[in-house]
Each structure stands twice: as C-alpha cells, then as structure tokens.
Amino acid sequence: MPAAAAPENTPVRQVEYLDRAPVAVTTEGGVYVGWRMLGLDADSIGFHVYRDGVRITETPITG
C-alpha cells in the first residue's frame, strides 16, 4: 500500500464539535457582528440577523 493511501475504513473528514461562536464588537460606526462558518455548511448557506427579536436583514447574508 502506498504511503499516501488511507485504509478503507478511514473517515472522509474528521471534524471537531464547534458552534458558530458569534461575536459582536462595538465600532465607531456601530456594531460588527460575525460568526464562524462550519466545514460541513453548504456553499449556499445564508443567515438572517435579528435585533431584539426583530429581523433586520431583508435577505440572508451569504458568504
């Protein structure tokens, strides 16, 4: 077996349990809001942002 070959029972991708780890940082212009994209997220994933339970984005934010 070549050195680069993996055994058949090796998982395709080993992932850690991570959450989105949202952050909000006050800036001169307002508040920066960011979060982590996860390795298994679809390329088409999008998110709405809410303030005090009210959606403030008209369309989902995509990467």
pLDDT tens, position by position, 4-57: 666 677 767 777 888 899 999 999 999 999 999 988 899 999 999 999 999 999
Q: Is the pTM of this model over 0.75?
A: no
Rounded CA-CA distance 32/28 in Å is: 10
Report the amino acid identity of residue 7: P
Domain extents for the chain? 23-62
pLDDT at 2 over 80: no
**Tokens 């088409």 -> residue:** 44
pLDDT score at 11: 65
pLDDT score at 3: 60
